[in-house]
Amino acid sequence: MTDQWTLNRLNFQGRWQGRGAWFGRDAEDRLDLVTPVRVVDPTTYDISFSDPETGVWDGSGLFFAPGGHARYDISRSTYNAGCGCWQFQGAGGQSSLEPDLDRRRFGHEINLFYGRSRSMLVLIWEPVGTRWRLQLVGAVGFRCSNAPVPEPERPSFRTAEAMLEPLRGWAGVAETFRPQPGCIGQVSAPQPSVFVPDQFMRHEKTAVMQDALVFSVPEYLPDAVFQLEIGGLLGVGLFQQLSILFDANSRLTAWQRRRFWADPSKVDP
């Protein structure tokens, strides 16, 4: 089976460029998911590999990095020392394993790939008093400038309901990956699944973003078992969903990726 480092290389290699939109709190301290607090256009991630074991991550137009630019050497030997990275074929990212008061940030980066497109969503909670509150949401619709043919534009939707209800009953498969250090972790064998919009739209903060991305997450992290739901309508008749599962101690236990197709004949475990 393909290991995590190889999946990382297959997913992320490319020169990715897109418009980054970042949403935060307004003057009345309400989370505004309509008007961005900052737009970065373009945001560019240039990720290359000189050989199967080593590469370079070079980013510009970044929201957090000083001067908006950062460059890192990456390698199989140093990959995922903190257990927070995860890869499926066509999906990958990194997650905080639990809220950490020392870092004062509980963040998740989710990337959904289709062809030479990369739809990225970033979710960040920060401590406010004794609770963790959703403070920042970022979305970037990347396209690879090395692609021989441009990817088609994604449809836009006014609401999550309008986007997800037509997908009710789509058949698909579910795979699971659990936190493990380095590259040794393996994705589980696929299991049959059926899309139910109500199970996706489980939280009060449910919204559609650019590039046909959608999410449903709690505004305040609960003192109970919970999960984050992120999805994307990536191609004609394909919806990809990423669920991030936490136990009652807010400790990440698993990432679960589902893929659903409008045409049942395309479901291939």
Other C-beta atoms closer than 10 Å to the C-beta of 243 total 20
**How high is the pLDDT of residue 205?**
96
Per-residue confidence (pLDDT) for residue 235, from 0 to 100 = 84
CB 220 within 8 A of CB 131: yes
Collapsed DSSP state (helix, strand, coil) of residue 167: helix
pLDDT reported for residue 264: 81
230 falls in which pLDDT band (50, 70, 90)?
very high
Query: 66: pLDDT confidence band, cut at 50, 70 and 90?
Result: very high
**Rounded to an integer, what distance in angstroms lies between the CA atom of residue 49 and that of residue 194?**
37
Q: For residue range 10-21, list pLDDT tens digits in order.
A: 999 999 999 999
Whole-prediction pTM: 0.96
pLDDT for 1 beyond 90: no
Question: pLDDT grade, residue 151 (50/70/90)?
Answer: confident
Please check the confidence at residue 115 and state whether its pLDDT lies above 80.
yes
Domain residues for the domain of 28 are 4-266
What is the predicted pLDDT for the residue at 4? Answer: 98
Question: Mind listing the pLDDT tens digit for each residue in 163-187?
Answer: 999 999 999 999 999 999 999 999 9
In angstroms, what CA-CA distances link 200 with 33, 105, 114, 225, 227? 18, 24, 21, 16, 10
Q: How confident is the model at residue 269 (pLDDT cuts 50, 70, 90)?
A: low
Tell me, what's the pLDDT at 152?
81
Residues 6+ apart with CB under 8 A from 38: 21, 22, 63
In degrees rounded to 5, what are phi and psi of residue 238?
Answer: -130, 125
Mean residue pLDDT of the chain comes to 95
**What mean pLDDT do residues 65-87 have?**
97
**What pLDDT is recorded for position 267?**
82
Please tell me the total count of domains within the chain: 1
Strand blocks (E) in 61-167: 69-75, 85-88, 91-95, 106-114, 117-128, 131-144
On the question of pLDDT at 96 being above 70, the answer is yes
Residues in CB range of 153: below 8 A, 6 or more apart: none
Task: Judge whether residue 106 has pLDDT over 80.
Answer: yes
- Does residue 34 have a pLDDT over 90? yes
Can you give the pLDDT at residue 103? Answer: 87
What pLDDT is recorded for position 263? 87
Q: What is the CATH number of the domain that holds 11?
A: 2.40.128.20
Instruction: Label residue 115 left, alpha or beta by phi (over 0 means left) and psi (-120 to 50 means alpha).
Output: left
